[in-house]
Structure formats: C-alpha cells, structure tokens
Structure 1
Amino acid sequence: MAGTARRPLLVLLLVAGAAAIAESKPYAPADRVLLNCGSATDSLDGDGRKWMADTNDDTWLTDSGKSSLMMAADRMDNGLPSTIPYMTARVFTMEAVYNFTVNPRDRHWVRLHFYPSSYNGLAPDGFHFSVTTSTGLTLLRNFSAYTYAKALSQAFIIREFSLPPTPAGFLSITFTPMPVGNDTYAFVNGIEVISMPDLFSDPATMVGFADQTVDIAGAALQTMYRFNVGGMYIPPSNDSGLTRQWYDDTPYVLGPVQGVIYRAGPHFQLKYPSEVAEYAAPPEVYLGTRSMGSDPRLNQNYNLTWTMPVDCNFTYVARLHFCELLLSRPNQRAFDIYVNNKTAQSDADVIGMTTEKGVPMYKDFAVSVADEPGDEAMWVALHPSVALRPQFYDATLNGLEVFKINGTDGNLAGPNPDPSRLLAKAELGAGDEGVPRTHGHRNMGTVMGGTAGGAAALGLVAAICVEKKSRELAAAGGSHTSGWLPLFHSHTSNKSSGHLAANLAGMCRHFSFADIKVATKNFSESLVIGVGGFGKVYRGVVDGDTKVAIKRSNPSSEQGVHEFQTEVEMLSKLRHRHLVSLIGFCEDAGEMILVYDYMEHGTLREHLYMGGKPPLSWRHRLDICIGAARGLHYLHTGAKYTIIHRDVKTTNILVDGDWVAKVSDFGLSKSGPTTVNQTHVSTMVKGSFGYLDPEYFRRQQLTDKSDVYSFGVVLFEVLLARPALDPALPREQVSLADYALLCQRNGTLKDVIDPAIKDQIAPECLKKFADTAEKCIGEQGIERPSMGDVLWNLEFAMQLQDAFEGGSCGGRRPAGEGSGTAGRSAAALEPSNSNGSAASVTTLETSSTTRPPHEACIIVEENDDEVANSAAFSQLVRPTGR
C-alpha cells in the first residue's frame, strides 16, 4: 500500500466542521440609541432591533428639526436589508446638529446609515456634505453617498466609527451641506450611538520600529475591515451585544493558494484568559481558522496573504485574532507576521503565547501608509518560521480587523475622489481604461454596505492609484485586484464582446446585471447557498417564479475568466439528465455570473457530513453515485471528444428536487485526446487536493482516468461520511484515499463505515462497491477502470442490494432515479471483463430531466455518428430549449 507520503497533500481544501457552540457573556451597553431619521414612528429592523423615531424627543435636533425636512425614499431597492432605517430620511438644507447625552466613561460606536435614493423628487446626486463631532473630529468630508454607491453598485452604505470617551457626557454630530451647483443638501437615514467596551486600552506595536508603540486608547477609529477569517458572515445579532458585522475574508486572500479552512467540532470549548474579554470577537470567529495546509514544501514557498486597499496619509491598526484549535504543544506551529512587507513579529507561536489550545488572543500592529504610488494598501502576510524549525511549517489566523486612526487634526475622512471620472465608468461599464462599474465580489459589496462602509470612499481612490502595485505584482508573478473596485482582467478589457466570444455568447440567455441584482436581492447575504473557488453562489428567482442558482465570480483570481468561458462553452454544448443545466450568464459591467437550474437539495457533501441535514440511506447514496457516474460517463464518451471534468468531488455533485444527481462546475474541464494515437493531454495541474490523481500530479498528464480516481475518493467519502482530507486526524487517517485503502486491504473497512448506514448495506453490495472504489484509486491510470466499468459495477451493486432486500429495484428509489435494470438478473449485469465496452451500457437515462424546459437556451448538438445512434447517449434535439 502507498503511504500518505506518496500522495500530494496540498492545500486549497475546505475542511468544514459543524459549528461549535461556545457560550459568551453578552455586553450590555450603558447607552444604546438607534435613531430612525425622518420617521414619525418607532419600528423594528430586519434583525429585530428597535429604532426610535427622531421626532420622539425635541432635543435630538438642536432646533427640534425645524430647519430640516422629513422625507421618504421614492423607491425601495431590493438590496436593502430592511426598510428600517433606510426608507425615511432627515434632509438638511443648512447645517444641523444631532445631540446625544452619553456616559462620559465609555467609548461609543457611531454608525451612520445612508440610502442614496431620490427623496420627494430630490435627485440622489445632489447630496454632498460633511459630518463632524463636538469633540473636534471630522468623520466625513464632501461626502456623496450616491457617488460611492453608484460606482460600487451598492444599495446602501454604513460608516462605523469608534469614538473615545467624552468627559463632558455630551456628543453632538453635525451635518453640513456642501454646495453642488445651485443646490446644497445633506441627509441621513439612521444614526447609532452605542456604548462599547474598552477594546483599545493597550498600545499597538509600530511595525518597523521594535521599540515604538502607538497609543490607541484615546484615538478615534474608523472600521475599515472586519473579517471572520475562514468563516461566513456574522450578523450583528450574533456578536455578543456589540452589534458588529463580520465578513468572509475569501475575496481578500491574495493569490491562487488560499489555504485550508478548519472549523472546530460541536463540543469544542473556548477558554478566555483574563486579559482577553469574551466580547473581543464572537466565539464563531475563534472557532474557525484559515491555515496554510499540510505540505511543508509548498508552505515554505509562499505567504498566506490578505491585501486591503486603504487611504494614504493615515496610520492603521491591524488586529489579528488567534486561537489554536488543533495543536497543544509549543513549537508545533510557529510563523512570522508581516504587515506592509515589514516584519511585525517573528516566530509567533499561538500555543507559546497562550499555553494551551482553545485560548483566544489577539495582537495589534500599527503601520503608516504614505502618499506614494503603490503604497495604498494594507498587506497582512503569514509565513512559517524557519528559524525555530517547528514540527509543522504552517501559519494560521482566525480573525482580522483593520482600523484607521484619526490624524493630528482629528480627521478621519478620506481624500475627495473625482466623481465624474468614476461615475462615467460606472455608467458605461468596463471600457478600454479598465475600471468597471461593478466587478466586485459579494463580500466586498456587503463590506461597503455594512460595518466597514468607510471603505467605499477608499475604493474610489484605490481604483485610481492601485495600478502601480498591480504592475509590480504582475512582474513578480503574483496577481492583485483592488478590494474596492476590482480591476477588469487586462487581457479581456479591450474586447468589445467581453469575456465570451460571439459564438458562445449566442448559445445561452444573456441576463443583464440589473436582472441578476433583482434575482438575488442585490446579492443578499441571506441568499448565499455556497462558496467555491470561482465565487459565491446565491439562490435567486428569475422570470417571476423560476428558482435558479446564481454563481458570481470572485475577481481576486485571474483564472476566473478562463473558468467562466469554459463553463459556458461546455454546458452550452452539453445536455444530459445528470449534468447540471446552464440557463444563462451575465457579463455586464465586467461581471462574470452564471445562472443554473436550482438544485433544491444542495450538494452531496451536505447530506453526508457537515451540512446539518439528516443522513441519507445507503440505497439513496448508491442512487446518487450511479447518477453521478452516468454524468461522468457521458462526459467521457458521449460528446464529440472526451471531456475531462478535472474537479470531481462531493461538492460538485448536486441533487435536485426529485433527488436526481447532477455533476456540476465545469470551470476546470478540459477536452481530452482528439486523436487515436494521443493518450493524454499535457496541462498544468488543477483540481482539489484530496481528490487529485497522483499520476496527473506527478506527470502533469491528464486523462479521463484522473476523473475516475477522483470519483473513487467520492465513493469512499459516501461510504465513510468524512472529508477527503482532514488535517485534524492522526497522520495515517488524514488522506481518505490512503486510509480507506489501508482499511480495505486489512479487512477493517466495515469497522469505519458511517454508523448511519452500516446496518443497511448488503454484504455482497458492500464488497462490490468497495472493490470498485479501490480500483478507481489505483496508483496508475492504466490500473483503473473506465467510467463505463464503474457504472456497470455500481448498477450491479444496486442489484445485489435489491436481492438482499428481497425485491426488485423498481419502485424502491426516489422519483427519477430508477436504474433501468429491473427484470435483469444480477449475473447478467456483471461485466464480462475488466475493460467492458462503454457502448454496451444500456442502462443510461435517455429521457430529459423532469423539470420544465427553459426556453432561454439553444441546444447545440455534437455531431458524432458513433454516439448519435446510441440511445444511451441521447441528447435533446428541441432547438428552443431543453
């Protein structure tokens, strides 16, 4: 048996775990004012928080509101999270002041909410204003919410500030309109003033100056970024009373290698030390992590890096949150921390600093960003320590926050952008100059509209000044896209037809970006149903009542363009019952968005583990495996040329409302050999580690047997209900393929089968299934069966299961999943040799999917006479839809 050393255990792997639940004591603020500006009634927002009408108390506004107008928005954008506080506004034509009595000992969050709509006919671009405080701070200067929201295609913007205690116990916030032509208006939809605990009492270490620190205890701060590293969005209601919002960090991870995501198990308990308050970050932040992975050679050759554009001429504090979840001894994992290419800390060892696992901690590092081209971003990078020679060459991070510190003049406002240039690009989309209106990732968008809304202003500036840094990275072999206005891919920006060639663009329905925004409620976080290498996947509705899955590209990866083209090309030409169907696409304004049939029951992985769903029965799992095998067999033999999927895994096997399995995600797919004499395709290695064919990895020679290997891992995953790679397990169990193979050859496989199905499997069925999986993961491709043979064997395994249960297979399976083999004897299904002809497989589905047709797609037939005459590979021939 081959040990784990011979298989590539690299990264780019999602190791998701059931979210652990840790109790934390919620913070109870002394002051908690949520003003629904311009409203006459108190109301609850979408999170159940009560907002008071700013007419409740005549003291809120200095002149009791007499010099201002209460207005309602003329329309509601689908991207708003709630009507409260965004559908009413207080509009000012002259300087106006809101007054708040506050606890003089407390710091306070001040959050300003803006929905740039037209109000009673006032155009949204007519509002330009500054915001200052009675403590001498400038929060916003010449601010145009419309400019930022329009350029970023966001419905609303929130600015969050942390203000130091006010000894007088009084805080005022002044709105000052700025002239725009003959008009001058200011507005605000909502204001939050909430006490917060003292999270900034300790000074931050000044990066590059070992003996210097920055006192942030008395500083005013603006929240620029707040990431739940390796995790999903955390709403204010889940933040221990501090009402912060934490966002997914994925779009800001630089480079193609984004590490391993790990979640602690359901019984993991955090142990807060006395110096770290339980509300420093929500437990969910500390219970998940992004690390580099298990390959020491790979890890020593790259940094795990986050890049975040910021304003020049300010000092920033980067707060890094750590909590060791797996290791328990010092020097098992040590790493260096870099901020803006300077060493912030060498040989950081979380266990060394906390003495045991499960103990949260954070470190603050300060850095100044000068006004120099190419120096307009915050870079946080981790690299394994070489000096300490730790047991594992790895690095890890749980959470990341970035705050801007006010200048000596009390200013927090960023430089005034040039709205005309940016708005022109916003209206016209991506032109030859390269900055699109919105090519942003969903997370970036929610950061703009969420707590880190202060970043929107920076984005407009960063879009202009990030160019030099991008060129430097490109020269160094890296890639960079702005976190604010991601740059259009340079090699496609001059094409009039965008990413797709004209012949491909005519194959499927073209959705406008406005259509997609409506379908996803402006990419609402609540509609996110998955995250992949290409980007976020949203649930949506088009044409009034048609449910769809909408996949929006993550612009931080240059390979997205190629994957987008490949996906449209492949799925526009292919139609099969067990392949997910592409309805259409959108490439407006630099976006790359794909629209698919909605798969009601999600991914296969969700039904095996880490999805919180009831476990599937053995028969149901086997049905799904058979369906997926049909889809892959069709790819290998049913089109003009062999198509190699190259990323077969349980997250790419979806299940629709009728429990029909469908293979998805063709972004990495590759056409196979085109001539008889050609045995492979030479190409760079791509795929998901844990499923990656070791022969392909070593030789960079891709064949259809690479898909067979990956599918073999899927079969064992179905049987054992555990991830393909799990770094938390003992070394011999990390790789599912190696561990399952060891158990299979030792005769102990039955002992590690998922307990939920262990007693349901017929012994003969288990033997046939396990033998098939074992052959699939043979070390060399020539040892592996074809997908036709795999399909034969799985069908035969089903017949053995039927015989064991004492009945035929007919009527036993979920709708649409009959094998088509009822009435045939088990013996008749056994292949006569190990290389059975694919053409002899007569059990493939020949009917179209049971879902109603989408008339948006035109079916393109592959003219292959050898295949066209076989009912086994029937394609739909209706030219108007499938």
Structure 2
Amino acid sequence: MSSNTRFLFFIFSLLLTLNSVFHIVSQTTPSDSDASYILACGASTDAEDTDGRTWKPDSQLLSNSGNSMILSAHVQDPSLPSTIPYMTARIFTSTSTYKILVAKGQRFWLRLHFYSTSYGTLDPSKSYLDVIANGFTLLHNFSASITAQALTQVSIMKEFSLVPAQSGDLDITFKPTLEQKDAYAFVNGIEVIPMPDIFKPAPLVGYNDQFVEVESSSFQTIARLNVGGQFILPTDDSGLTRTWYDDSPYIFSAAFGVTYKADKSIKIQYPSNVSKEIAPLDVYNTARSMGPNANININYNLTWVFQIDAKFTYLVRFHFCELDLEKVNQRVFNIFVNNQTAKENADVIEWAESQGVPVYKDYAVYASDEDLWVALHPSVSTKPQYYDAILNGLEIFKMNDTRGNLAAPNPVQSPMPIQADDAPKKFRPSRSERAAHVIGGISGGVVGCAVVAGFFICFTKEKRKGDGNPSSRGNWLPLYGRSHTSTSNSTTSGKSIASSQLSSVAAGLCRHFSLSEIKHGTKNFSESQVIGVGGFGKVYEGLIDGKTKVAIKRSNPSSEQGLDEFLTEIEMLSRLRHKHLVSLIGFCEEDGEMILVYDYMANGTLREHLYRSNKPALSWQQRLAICIGAARGLHYLHTGARYTIIHRDVKTTNILLDEKWVAKVSDFGLSKIGSNLHQTHVSTMVKGSFGYLDPEYFRRQQLTEKSDVYSFGVVLFEVLCARPALNPLLPMEQVSLVDWALHCQRKGILEDIIDPHLKGKINPLSLRKFTETAEKCVADQGLDRPTMGDVLWNLEFSLQLEKTPEQPKMVSYNNADDTYATYTAMSGTDEDSFVSLEK
C-alpha cells in the first residue's frame, strides 16, 4: 500500500470516527429544529422505556452538577408506567440549571417527570421546588408528594409548550423552594421536543370580537383527549410524542352518548390549512356523538368536566372530523365553555367542506373557578336534519399570566398523608397521632364531585338577572330533569332544603343539631379543623357534647350542590344501624347549611392502605378481614333491611376503617331502594364510579343488587393487586384492572401481578378461593354472579384456609342483623376447634 493510499485510508477512517462521535453528540446537543432531548436524570447509560423510546443521561447538559447528587428509588411501585426514567433521580440541594441548545425561533414541548418516593435518606414530603425556564415560572413550591397523593397517581408528568427561543438557548432552572425549611428539589426525566407553532389568536368566550393573542404565551397542558377513542401512546402520535387519553373519565353524569369509528371506505385527509402535527389520524378516526334519538338529545348536553387552576386563561381546542354525514345542515350544534356560548350553529361539514376532513377550533376563556365545563347541544334554530352533536378530540391548555407565571398552588388533600410520614412506623397509630385520623363518609371524592356537579349544570347559558322564567334559560338544560328554582322554602343561599321533608324522614331517627352546636364543635369551622375536602364540601374534625369526636361534613354554603345526596344520606343512614355500616349521628339544616355528622373513623379508607401512600402494607389476613367486614355490610343492605338497598358506589374509598380496623361501608348518597318480589330490577340513570360500574347496568340502565356484587369484585382484585381499578398510564391491555386480572387468571399467571408485599406469603388454597370469588363477582351477566351472601361465605372460607394448614369445614347461619360463621378443622369437630370471626 503506497503512502498516498495509507494517507487516504487514514483520512477516511478519521472521517468515519468523527461522524460516529458527531452522531453521539448530536443526540444530546442538537443543532437543528428536528432534534429532541429525552433525558433520564441521574442515569449513567442510555436506556429504553416500555414504549421503546431511548433516554439519554443528563449530566452533560447540567451546568453546575456540583449542586446536585444522583440517587436511586428504594421502591418500584407496580403502577409505574416504566422503570425508565423513574427509578433514578437528580437531587438538587441548591439552584442548578440545565443549558440546552435549541433552534432559534423554535417553539417546543418541555415535559418534566416526577416519581415521589424515598431516595436515599431523603423524606419525600420535604421536596418543594421551583422550576423556571427562559423567564417563565413553570412550578413554584411544587410538591410531587402532595400532588401524587391528592391525585392518587404514582408518577407525575408536567407538560409545557414554551415560546420560541430567540437566542437559541434554553435554560431550565431547578431550585429548592426558599419558603420551606430543609427543602430539596428533584426530577426524574426531562423531554425537550421541537414542535410547530400550532397556537394562533383565539376568540375570547363571552366577549364579542375580542381575541387573545397567544404567540408570545407559554402553555401548560391540562387535558388531551381522544374523544370516543382509545389511549394513544406517544410513539403513535404525529411525531410530537404526545399522549392522548380516553375521554370517558371526564364525561359528566351517565350521558355518554355513543362512540363510533370511521368506516373503512372513508379516507381521512388533512386539508392544506391543517397540519398532521395538530393531531394524529387516530384522533380524527373516532368520535363521540349524542346518539340517534332526537327527543333525548334535545333534553341533555354532552358534557365534560375538568378540574383546573382558578384565575388563569385557558385555550380550549376542539378537534372535529365528520365521519358519517356529507351535507351542510345535517348536524348542527352549539358549543359551550363554562356556561357561556363559544360557538352557535357549529357545522363541521360547513367548516371542512367535505366528509373525512379534519378541522379544529380554538376558544379562550378566563376561569375564575376550579372547574371547567365543556358541553355540546343540538342547535334548534337552524332546523338541521339530525338533532345531534359530534366531537373527535379535545385539548385544554393553561396560558401564563401577565407575570409570565404558570405555577399554581399544590392540590388540596387530606392532611393525613403528610402527617402520617412523621408518625412512628407501626401498624396501629396512637390516639395522639391526629395525622392518622380521617372521617367516615368523606370518601369517594372524584365521583362526589361529578354527582354534586349535576346541580351546578342547571345554570343558564347566560346568566339573566331577575328572570326566573324557566323558558328563558337558554340551552343549558338540567341533566337530571329537576328544577332548582327558588321556592318558599329556599334559603338565602338559594338552596331548597325542604325542611318538612327532612323532618318527616329523620324525626326520631337521628339527632338534629343546631348550627351553634356545630360551630362550637368545629371552633367556628376553623381551617385548623379541616381533615378533608370532597365534592360535597369540607370535612372537619369536631367534638359534640364536649367529648365525642366526630367527622362533620359541610356543604359549600355558596353552591347549590348535593341536595338529593344530602336527603338520601339522611334517609338511608338514619334508618340503618349495623356494625359494618358507617353511622350517621345527625344533621344540621339551619341558615341554608347542609351538614352531616358521622362517627369518627381513625384509620381512613381502605385504598390508603393498599397503594400510593407511605402506610405499612396490610397483611393478607388483615385484608381478608376487611373484605369480610365490607361484605357483611353489603349483605345486610341487600337482605337484612326492610327493603333491598343497592349501594351503587362500592369502591375502596367508600370502605372505611375505625380505630380497631373494623371495616364499614360509607357514602350512601347514590343508594337506591332495590327490587321487590314483583320486580327483577330498578330502571334508573347510571351513576357510580368509573372502573367499578357493572357493565350490564351500564348497558341496560337496569340496577340490581348484583351491580354491587360486580363493584365489590373490582374491590377484591384491587385488594389483591394493590393498584387502581383504572390506570390509563399503563399499556392498553392493562388499563382496566379487571380485564388484566382476568387475562392473567386465564393464562395462569395471576400471581405475577399481585401486590409484591404478598408474594410468597399467601396460602395457595386461600388465594385460589379468593381469586375464584373475585372472578365470579365480575361476570359480565348478573345472573352468573354470586349473591353477596355467597361472596361473604367464600371470603370467610378463604380466611380460614389461610389460618389452618388443612382445608376446614364450614358451618354458617344468617340473621337480619349480621352473618356469623364458625369453622372446624377436618381433623376434629370438638368445640375447642371452632373459631368465631366476630371476636
């Protein structure tokens, strides 16, 4: 080989090497607008997450890494969407900044990932942090611990769209909040994804001809929904790695409408003025409409409700694509945002000019409250061919305020989870540990919000002062067919409490407290006494008669929420007394107040002891005993009362635990009197909690006691697997706990998904009996499900199998007050071998 040849070969090899180096560096130092940063904070090597995305280490982009340290999580929660990037964290003890090179004039997504757990010796509750990016305050005094517990989520992802960078530099600064002593900051993952400038000026709802300029604004994503469709993974998005969620959990009441998918003959094509990056084809390929019955559609709104931060302006983006109709004025509808008309006579075909063509519309609204309502209602004035409405996708973005701020306070939560971290690590808390005390009856906050919101929807499209004529209310129609106009019994706050009705129901059955007694017991509703907040209102720890500790649930005096639930709760619980039902002590209806007084439940809800908290794990025997107690309470409702009572909202947050760990069923606001000898079911509007709803009840709107059995079956799987009934962050086949558990049961791998704290600690016979019982409870048809009495028998049998190495025989008997069971081992039948579960 000649010297020239060697030289050329050397140059060629050098170029190959430099090209490889440049390729590696370009993954963390992009030089064009198409490059992205996907950083696993604290990681030492590249790693793939469960979606196949590669995460890079973050150390090269941190300008002052000496102010940080790298720690690994002690525990991997089974609900984590992926170990990457959540099992390592970058911990900041003082101000630290990531410096990232981005293209000039480029708008981009910034996503921050947090997993609140123990890192080293650090206390998760001590993490309070600020995040500032290019002059915008994204987070202030943010606590991942409080947020995770309040939202019942394991991991938190915050997504922001930041204004185009003019300098080409993106500085992301993390610092512990100065207001908190010994605070530290942390982050698990950071994504910087270039994006097109998809935000344009939007009309301001409620103000004619006014637009909100958005080009210089930064945004935080509040919701991104594939309406009528399924969960869309980041890898299936239009290059922007966004996650699109199912819209079902946000739909108000049982008015779900119908969902459908585009026919194979329809080819969806983006018009020239709509980029494919606005939303993926999967969003426009499915839709939710109101249904085929015009008479029904005219009398309700298709409504979604979102919890938001008050005192910000929000951009609400509607995605439309007509998949069924072809002509103008076939389907025309009105769009409402926060009880105000955003668009009258919306016609998707008129906008898009053809079937199968995507179109989107933006509207801006200033929100003074913490709920944002989006609703559709058929237009009547245009006399369309079909009285219907359609929606394919929905996004909600919060805009920064005039100070460049996007931060908001941490969500409200019960003080118990925070204070419990300071309690001694033992199973049963002492009486002095006020942190471990929660109420009986406040559980079920999410569904409570949806239920009581039913009365809020009765406000008109536009508030008309001094006009009480129902015919002038516009298009906001009462979803429950009930008027709440003022009557002679109305209070100054607008509630129609119906005193005579309360008196007839509760006279002699429970105590009627005066408002002065309630105020004295709660120190005049002192904030220091608040132990929880639900959809009905705040809950206070209180004393009655100067000595008896109680939980006092107070309706928000300025709202018109929860009247039906208030009456139902009093009527049901004042007539029912049972060891495994939470006890209603009394009520107060003075001066427009709606107040309920319950027994004090020291150990909170069952869910708090299963997952997403720092409480010690329950043993298998403890879980079985709690399930048995709850089953006894439900069995009494179904058979022991004068009439069959169907609870209709059985879930782990409605199973409460007293100071002796006795389980009690709570929250009877949705309960119904069931069928009798001449009926097989009760026809009623579907209400309940997503993930626990009986599919047969949902399809046919026919309620039976087997609906409670189905919900209780979900609870049993929740107890076994220690994960939520629904988790949209998991792969599609795992989102529903019941579906995934039944799949694993059929494959013979159910033990792979049970709570890690239980693995290897359950008698196989006990586990088999328990899982068989749970599986029968969630049968698709009610006729195939056991009665609650049968469920109770099987659970008691499962407990005895856990207690005795040999399979026992069981003898049981029922009475109207309770169900008792005794057992004898197969090896003997003497009286000494009998065990009573009531002891």
Q: Give the TM-score range, shorter chain.
A: 0.5 to 0.7
Q: Are positions 1:587 and 2:654 aligned together? A: yes
Q: Are positions 1:346 and 2:344 aligned together? A: yes
| Compared CA separation, residues 859 and 209, structure 1 to 2 (3 A) | farther
| Compared CA separation, residues 417 and 108, structure 1 to 2 (3 A) | same
**Deviation string for 1:13-45 (max 9, x for gaps)?**
xxxxxxxxxxxxxxx961210111112121111
Whichever residue aligns with residue 108 of structure 1, its letter is F
**Deviation of 1:496 (Å):** 10
Instruction: Report the TM-score, using the length of structure 2 for normalisation.
Output: 0.55
Task: Name 1:41's counterpart in structure 2.
Answer: 45
Q: Are positions 1:61 and 2:73 aligned together? A: no
Task: Name 1:707's counterpart in structure 2.
Answer: none
**Deviation of 1:424 (Å):** 6.2
Whichever residue aligns with residue 587 of structure 1, its letter is N
SS at match of 1:66: helix
Q: Are positions 1:402 and 2:399 aligned together? A: no
SS at match of 1:90: strand
Q: Write out aligned runs for 1:801-840 (5 A).
A: none
**Deviation of 1:254 (Å):** 1.6
**Deviation of 1:461 (Å):** 12
Q: Does the Cα contact within 8 Å between 1:431 and 1:494 map onto a contact in 2?
A: no
2-structure distance, mates of 1:316, 1:293: 29
**Deviation string for 1:767-791 (max 9, x for gaps)?**
xxxxxxxxxxxxxxxxxxxxxxxxx
Q: Does the Cα contact within 8 Å between 1:647 and 1:688 map onto a contact in 2?
A: no
**Deviation string for 1:213-266 (max 9, x for gaps)?**
112222100001111112222221221221111112222222232212222344
| Compared CA separation, residues 244 and 417, structure 1 to 2 (3 A) | closer
Task: Name 2:205's counterpart in structure 1.
Answer: 207
**Deviation of 1:120 (Å):** 0.9
SS at match of 1:164: strand
| Compared CA separation, residues 174 and 500, structure 1 to 2 (3 A) | farther
| Compared CA separation, residues 339 and 569, structure 1 to 2 (3 A) | same
**Deviation of 1:387 (Å):** 0.7
Task: Name 1:70's counterpart in structure 2.
Answer: 70
Task: Name 1:132's counterpart in structure 2.
Answer: 132
2-structure distance, mates of 1:187, 1:490: 47
**Deviation of 1:47 (Å):** 0.9
| Equivalent residue in structure 2 for 1:644, among 674, 680, 694 | 680
Q: Are positions 1:411 and 2:412 aligned together? A: no
**Deviation of 1:122 (Å):** 0.7
Q: Write out aligned runs for 1:460-859 (5 A).
A: 474=560, 502=579, 512-513=606-607, 517=611, 587-588=654-655, 641=677, 644-645=680-681, 855-856=797-798
Task: Name 2:187's counterpart in structure 1.
Answer: 188
1-structure distance, mates of 2:241, 2:48: 15
**Deviation string for 1:853-877 (max 9, x for gaps)?**
983489987899xxxxxxxxxxxxx
**Deviation of 1:571 (Å):** 11
| Compared CA separation, residues 879 and 278, structure 1 to 2 (3 A) | farther
**Deviation of 1:433 (Å):** 8.9
**Deviation of 1:210 (Å):** 2.4
Q: Does the Cα contact within 8 Å between 1:331 and 1:390 map onto a contact in 2?
A: yes
**Deviation of 1:504 (Å):** 7.4
**Deviation of 1:566 (Å):** 7.1
| Compared CA separation, residues 317 and 389, structure 1 to 2 (3 A) | same
Q: Does the Cα contact within 8 Å between 2:414 and 2:533 map onto a contact in 1?
A: no
**Deviation of 1:130 (Å):** 0.5
SS at match of 2:295: helix
Whichever residue aligns with residue 381 of structure 1, its letter is A
Q: Does the Cα contact within 8 Å between 2:334 and 2:344 map onto a contact in 1?
A: yes
| Compared CA separation, residues 566 and 246, structure 1 to 2 (3 A) | farther
Q: Are positions 1:257 and 2:199 aligned together? A: no
Q: Which moved more, 1:180-189 or 1:162-171?
A: 180-189
**Deviation string for 1:729-785 (max 9, x for gaps)?**
xxxxxxxxxxxxxxxxxxxxxxxxxxxxxxxxxxxxxxxxxxxxxxxxxxxxxxxxx
| Equivalent residue in structure 2 for 1:299, among 290, 297, 300 | 297
Whichever residue aligns with residue 131 of structure 1, its letter is V
Task: Name 1:380's counterpart in structure 2.
Answer: 374
2-structure distance, mates of 1:121, 1:271: 55
SS at match of 1:855: helix
Whichever residue aligns with residue 123 of structure 1, its letter is D
| Compared CA separation, residues 341 and 853, structure 1 to 2 (3 A) | closer
Q: Does the Cα contact within 8 Å between 1:38 and 1:54 map onto a contact in 2?
A: yes
Task: Name 2:439's counterpart in structure 1.
Answer: 431
Whichever residue aligns with residue 513 of structure 1, its letter is R
Root-mean-square deviation (CA), in Å? Answer: 5.4
| Compared CA separation, residues 438 and 862, structure 1 to 2 (3 A) | same
**Deviation of 1:67 (Å):** 1.9
Q: Does the Cα contact within 8 Å between 2:150 and 2:412 map onto a contact in 1?
A: no
| Compared CA separation, residues 130 and 571, structure 1 to 2 (3 A) | farther
Task: Name 1:92's counterpart in structure 2.
Answer: 92
| Equivalent residue in structure 2 for 1:52, among 53, 56, 64 | 56
2-structure distance, mates of 1:264, 1:429: 52
Task: Name 1:598's counterpart in structure 2.
Answer: none
Q: Does the Cα contact within 8 Å between 2:444 and 2:653 map onto a contact in 1?
A: no
1-structure distance, mates of 2:227, 2:564: 22
Q: Does the Cα contact within 8 Å between 1:227 and 1:399 map onto a contact in 2?
A: yes
Whichever residue aligns with residue 192 of structure 1, its letter is E
Structure 2 unmatched runs, 5+:
1-31, 421-434, 451-530, 539-553, 583-603, 642-649, 658-662, 664-673, 685-691, 706-789, 800-809, 817-833
Task: Name 1:357's counterpart in structure 2.
Answer: 355
Whichever residue aligns with residue 654 of structure 2, its letter is E
**What is the identity percentage for the equivalent residue pairs of Structure 1 and Structure 2?**
39
| Compared CA separation, residues 269 and 284, structure 1 to 2 (3 A) | same
2-structure distance, mates of 1:564, 1:470: 33
**Deviation of 1:83 (Å):** 1.1
Task: Name 1:24's counterpart in structure 2.
Answer: none
Q: Which has the higher contact order (CA 8 A, sep 6+)?
A: 1
**Deviation of 1:78 (Å):** 1.6
Task: Name 1:119's counterpart in structure 2.
Answer: 119
1-structure distance, mates of 2:362, 2:635: 43
Task: Name 1:772's counterpart in structure 2.
Answer: none
**Deviation of 1:381 (Å):** 1.2
2-structure distance, mates of 1:362, 1:173: 32
SS at match of 2:71: strand
Q: Which moved more, 1:38-47 or 1:461-470?
A: 461-470
**Deviation of 1:425 (Å):** 9.4
**Deviation of 1:434 (Å):** 3.7
**Deviation of 1:349 (Å):** 0.7
2-structure distance, mates of 1:188, 1:268: 45
**Deviation of 1:54 (Å):** 1.5
Task: Name 1:30's counterpart in structure 2.
Answer: 34
| Equivalent residue in structure 1 for 2:317, among 319, 322, 325 | 319
Structure 1 unmatched runs, 5+:
1-27, 443-459, 480-488, 523-541, 551-560, 574-582, 595-634, 649-663, 669-686, 694-701, 705-847, 865-877
Q: Does the Cα contact within 8 Å between 1:336 and 1:383 map onto a contact in 2?
A: yes
SS at match of 1:290: strand
Q: Are positions 1:242 and 2:240 aligned together? A: yes
2-structure distance, mates of 1:291, 1:308: 19
1-structure distance, mates of 2:445, 2:149: 8
Q: Does the Cα contact within 8 Å between 2:143 and 2:410 map onto a contact in 1?
A: no
Whichever residue aligns with residue 186 of structure 1, its letter is A
| Compared CA separation, residues 383 and 501, structure 1 to 2 (3 A) | farther
Whichever residue aligns with residue 431 of structure 1, its letter is I
2-structure distance, mates of 1:494, 1:40: 61
**Deviation string for 1:120-170 (max 9, x for gaps)?**
11111111111101x210000011111111233321111100012101110
**Deviation of 1:87 (Å):** 0.9
